[in-house]
């Protein structure tokens, strides 16, 4: 199926590794142009080089025009990040079709003992920074544009040991749902992705907090109906579809990418 991504232009934040990078890879592979952001020049440059090599390899020997990647050093929590990213994407690609807002996971720890400073820092990046990006994108996107949030399965059920995520992600999901109502009449879609145990550095770091990381991984895998962790590529393909014109009638929804781990509807 042609997703209609050729020559579309997207921003993917926090895309130097993990789920953001996985989504950017699939977008570029399907012919989209992508502006990624990250906090350090080295990480951004490394990711851009890998994305452009991947896009060229996917387009080689086919009729498909490969997408391209460009990078900008930016922190989601900085007040000027949204305007910088949108201006750069528009200047670089001549258009702006959507944004995938991905932020790093907040500090682990239970609600009871996680310090207030960690909550405040996470609110600035995970919640307020993401909302600022979405609002700026809403002002700049044309009809047919899309705003996606990479959230977490903690939107629907608490994850033990991740108090901040459990507290902030559901609120951001509800803000996204309200934004979908507000922007729908303008033809702009808003949606979220709810990953669970995807085999990224972040999830491996969380598993490593256990006394026996291998046992922790086996326990989590046993609680997933498909019996295993998801791959970043599996997440990236779902993200690319939801951002694409092929998903033009999907808005206001939260899509679990979890192997069936969430038991709620």
Residue 146 within a domain: yes
Burial of 202 (0-12, 13-18, 19+ CB in 10 A): middle
Residue 1 within a domain: no
CA distance 49 to 13: 16
Q: Which domain holds residue 127?
A: 9-249
Residue 145 within a domain: yes
Residue 125 within a domain: yes
Residue 255 within a domain: no
Residue 265 within a domain: no
Would you give per-residue pLDDT tens digits along the chain (265 residues)? 899 999 999 999 999 999 999 999 999 999 999 999 999 999 999 999 999 998 888 764 454 667 899 999 999 889 999 999 999 999 999 999 999 999 778 889 999 999 999 999 999 988 999 999 999 999 999 999 999 999 999 999 999 999 999 999 999 999 999 999 999 999 999 999 999 999 998 899 889 988 898 999 999 999 999 999 999 999 999 999 999 999 999 999 999 999 999 988 7
CB-CB contact of 196 with 158 (8 Å): no
Q: Is 258 in a helix, a strand, or coil?
A: coil
CA distance 25 to 58: 10
Domain count, the chain: 1
Residue 261 within a domain: no
* Spatial CA neighbour of 8 closest among 144, 132, 101: 144
Residue 259 within a domain: no
Provide the whole-model pTM.
Answer: 0.94
**CATH number (domain holding residue 81):** 3.40.50.720
Structure tokens at 56: 């060229």
CA distance 107 to 36: 23
Contacts of residue 122, defined as CB under 8 A and 6 or more positions apart, other chains included, come to 106, 107, 164, 168
Handedness of CA 72, 25, 106, 164 (dihedral sign): positive
Instruction: Give the pLDDT confidence of 92-148 residue by residue, as tens digits.
Output: 999 999 999 997 788 899 999 999 999 999 999 889 999 999 999 999 999 999 999
């Amino acid at each position: 199926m042609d997703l209609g991504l050729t020559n579309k232009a997207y921003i993917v934040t926090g895309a130097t590794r993990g789920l953001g990078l996985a989504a950017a890879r699939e977008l570029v592979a399907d012919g989209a142009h992508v502006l990624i952001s990250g906090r350090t020049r080295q990480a951004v440059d490394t990711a851009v080089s890998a994305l452009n090599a991947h896009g060229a390899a996917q387009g080689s020997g086919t009729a498909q025009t490969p997408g391209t990647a460009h990078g900008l050093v930016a922190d989601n929590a900085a007040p000027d990040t949204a305007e910088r990213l949108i201006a750069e994407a528009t200047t670089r690609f001549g258009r702006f079709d959507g944004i995938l807002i991905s932020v790093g996971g907040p500090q682990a720890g239970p609600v009871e003992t996680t310090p207030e400073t960690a909550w405040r820092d996470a609110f600035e990046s995970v919640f307020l920074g993401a909302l600022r990006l979405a609002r700026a994108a809403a002002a700049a996107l044309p009809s047919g544009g899309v705003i996606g949030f990479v959230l977490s399965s903690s939107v629907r059920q608490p994850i033990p040991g991740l108090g901040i995520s459990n507290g902030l992600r559901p609120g951001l999901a509800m803000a996204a749902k309200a934004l979908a109502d507000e922007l729908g009449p303008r033809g702009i879609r808003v949606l979220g992705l709810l990953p669970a145990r995807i085999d990224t550095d972040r999830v491996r770091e969380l598993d490593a907090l256990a006394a026996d990381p291998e046992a922790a991984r086996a326990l989590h895998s046993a609680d997933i109906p498909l019996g295993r962790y998801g791959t970043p590529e599996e997440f990236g393909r779902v993200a690319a579809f939801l951002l694409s014109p092929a998903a033009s009638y999907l808005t206001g929804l939260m899509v679990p990418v979890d192997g069936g781990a969430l038991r709620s509807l």
